[in-house]
Copies of this chain bind each other. A is one copy, B any other.
Amino acid sequence: MCSGDDKNCPEYEKHKREFMGELDHERRSFMKSAFATAGGTAALGAGGISLVTPTMSAAAEKHQPSDRSYHHLPATADTVHWGYFSKNLKPQVEIDSGDFVTIEALTHHANDDAERMIKGDPGAESVYLWTKDKKGVDRRGAGPMDASLYGRGAGEGLGVHICTGPVYIRGAEPGDVLEVRIIDVAPRGSRNPKYAGKAFGSNAAAWWGFHFKDLITEPKEREVITIYEVDATGERNWAQAAYNFQWTPQTDPYGVVHKTIDYPGVPVDHATVKENHGILNGIRIPIRPHFGVIGLAPKEADMVDSIPPSYTGGNIDNWRIGKGATMYYPVAVDGGLLSVGDPHASQGDSELCGTAIECSLNGTFQLILHKKADLAGTALEELDYPMLETQDEWLVHGFSFANYLAELGEKAQSDIYSKSSVDLALRDAFRKMRHFLMNTKGLTEDEAISLITVGVDFGITQVVDGNWGVHAVIRKDIFAGVPA
């Protein structure tokens, strides 16, 4: 259960050596790439039209050390926080603007099939450790530690994602904007020799899904887990179903019975479920590896449920937040405090049944800080929402409530679950896209509204994360003819 981080482990020294060796190997592979060598930053930026102009790049570089550093943040019981964001969390790593960091992200659904997704994986084993006496990570969610609300367990599962971090970005202050470049995303292969070369993910059709009260076949109001297989060698761009099973009441190691999927990381006893193999025969799900959760700590509360997305990002659940994409987030607290979690192999717009193909991934990021003082007159001035840039598109993310913590008052964290609608999220996405076009592109309101109507596509990001989401997509080439 020790991944080189538990000094009480009898084999601590051995595990530590293994872990460091592994880390070194990854580090060396990475250093061979062009990204971390001199000029790497410039090369990345030159790939397409970006919100970040050369002038902005130069301004940002003034706050960066001349040498880029590379960091690796493994996912272990010590480096993750489960189910919440907090501005009070101790940083796991402190980095400079411009640095690169590989962050391991573990899916919080790995215990749906521990054989495939945990066994033999020291990091995952340390996080998921749960005996009758001990949990590797006790708090799961932003709720009370004594489970006095629902009796589910510490943190009450009010928030479910295993988040790795936070990363402290030196010099980041409220009002700044953090640019997060997603350099690479790779599936975390199964460490069980039986499944070498494969990675796995779990899709839970759960009680919080949009479909749940609307089933047409019996038994009604069932929850169903579908385990998907992903090729970890990178040769196949699709996932396929391995099997599914209906959730049965699961008794956790502390003796609490979970009739529904109400607490993250409950080990599923496969002796109690009926696995249906041969399902979705021949069906190939296009993979879209991405991170459901990338977020900074919000300033409004000490403990924030990881489920509803908000102005500092978090659980946006947009499958476009994958390799090659760049996110921009407003910084709300000193250091920014970036965490990454909820890795997905794939998801459709809406994430209808409650979850994606939840599948552990490793991500490599470059983090670039844009200081508030440098933002006047730029595309990032006054950015107070999370914005996505891909090679060909810009996207804004609308939520039912743009900043639900500030808007809904003291009970925001519970009220948000009953107040959302797609209509509200569309309203917010419209307003954000209008803001983007007026502020960043200098259009009048009439120009912006016409362009939004004839050239912007609105899609449903998710309807399962408390604060529902709609994204608005605008193609960059719409501006190809605009005079400089």
Decide if B426 touches A423 in the complex (CB within 8 Å): no
Taking the closest CB of chain B, its distance from the CB of A55, in whole angstroms, is 21
Decide if A455 touches B346 in the complex (CB within 8 Å): yes
Q: Is A381 an interface residue (CB 8 A)?
A: no
Decide if B226 touches A452 in the complex (CB within 8 Å): no
Taking the closest CB of chain B, its distance from the CB of A473, in whole angstroms, is 8
Q: Which one of A215, A353, A456, A470 has the greatest number of beta carbons of chain B within 10 Å?
A: A353
Residues of B within 8 A of A446 (CB): 205, 224, 226, 244, 246, 279
Q: Is A283 an interface residue (CB 8 A)?
A: yes
Q: Is A335 an interface residue (CB 8 A)?
A: no
Q: Is A475 an interface residue (CB 8 A)?
A: yes
Taking the closest CB of chain B, its distance from the CB of A19, in whole angstroms, is 33
Decide if A350 touches B244 in the complex (CB within 8 Å): no
Decide if B470 touches A460 in the complex (CB within 8 Å): yes
**Contact residue range for chain A?**
35 or more
Decide if B355 touches A453 in the complex (CB within 8 Å): yes
Partner of A423, one of B224, B347, B421: B421
Q: For the complex, what is the distance from the CA of A355 to the CA of B454, rounded to whole Å?
A: 8
Residues A451-470 near B (CB distance < 8 A): 451-460, 463, 470
Residues A217-253 near B (CB distance < 8 A): 217, 224, 226, 228, 239-241, 244, 246
Interface of A is mostly: mixed
Residues of B within 8 A of A481 (CB): 240, 282-284
Query: Which B residue's beta carbon lies closest to that of A464?
Result: B453
Decide if A214 touches B451 in the complex (CB within 8 Å): no
Query: Which B residue's beta carbon lies closest to that of A442?
Result: B281
27 A-B Cβ contacts within 8 A?
Answer: A210-B430, A217-B445, A226-B446, A241-B447, A246-B446, A281-B483, A282-B479, A282-B483, A283-B478, A285-B454, A346-B454, A347-B454, A348-B454, A350-B453, A350-B458, A352-B430, A353-B453, A354-B453, A421-B422, A422-B422, A422-B423, A422-B426, A426-B460, A426-B463, A457-B459, A458-B460, A459-B459
Q: For the complex, what is the distance from the CA of A210 to the CA of B240, rounded to whole Å?
A: 40
Q: Is A351 an interface residue (CB 8 A)?
A: yes
